[in-house]
Structure 1
Amino acid sequence: MKTVVKTHLPGEDAPIEWAVSADGILYTAQIPIREDGSIETGDIAAQADLTFSNLRRTIEAAGGTLEDVTQVLVYLTDKAAFQGMNAVYRRYFSKPYPNRATVIVAGLMVPDAMIEIVAYAHIRR
């Protein structure tokens, strides 16, 4: 049975949940969104920092830590943003790193967003 994880992020009107847990696995997707619903439109470092901060806060709301993350899928709108994203990523994760894939996409549904991540975590209870 899936359980919705209550997060700090807005979205009551959208047909999404920021995080869902089932059988000890947390499923979440994150974007550079602030608590007031506005999008960070700065450079990749600012967007990645907010996105990974949202991920950390979401995982903590589910009772876990970033050490519980097993896989991260990173979607970037510009290949040139990879190094900047990677520098921020290293501030949030350490060895052993989660499994990761990074994909360059033509665009994201959120205007001005350069990054979206999907993450899976095994939360021990």
Structure 2
Amino acid sequence: MRSVISTDKAPAAIGTYSQAIKVGNTVYLSGQIPLDPVRMEMVSGDFEAQAVRVFENLKAVTEAAGGSLRDMVKLNIFLTDLSNFTKLNEVMSRYFEQPYPARAAIGVASLPRGAEVEMDGVLFIE
């Protein structure tokens, strides 16, 4: 059975997608950029502020799905500047502890709304 996951604690979809889809015990999270869920505007500030907002958005969607970031088994990270990789790891360490999810960090030319970072992932909720 497939169900749509939606929460007002994360930004509403800005395109033709759902925040997440749950199939059985697996949740597929759509990409999150650093949009403030209340104002639907990009957060101001540096890369760290953007990364924190993205993790907070992911956290909100995981909780709406009945899980938490601890249930994430795969995390995909898209960065417009790979020199932010070290800062990303530092911010990520505030949200995850071992065992960490499998992860990819991919350099891209651009992201929606001029974001510096976007993340999506997969949860497995037991």
Contact 1:40 1:113 (8 Å CA) reproduced = no
CA 1:88/1:10 → structure 2, altered by over 3 Å: closer, same or farther? closer
1:7 maps to 2:10: no
Query: 2:121 matched to which residue of 1?
Result: 119
CA distance in structure 2 between the partners assigned to 1:82 and 1:70 by the alignment? 20
Aligned length: 123
SS in 2 for 1:111: helix
After superposition, residues 2-41 of structure 1 pair within 5 angstroms as 2-8=2-8, 9-11=10-12, 14-28=15-29, 29-35=31-37, 36-41=39-44
Q: TM-score, normalised by structure 1?
A: 0.91
CA 1:115/1:24 → structure 2, altered by over 3 Å: closer, same or farther? same
CA distance in structure 1 between the partners assigned to 2:15 and 2:102 by the alignment? 29
CA distance in structure 1 between the partners assigned to 2:44 and 2:21 by the alignment? 27
Kindly state the Cα deviation for residue 10 of structure 1 after the two structures are TM-superposed: 3.9
Contact 2:25 2:124 (8 Å CA) reproduced = yes
Query: 1:48 matched to which residue of 2?
Result: 51
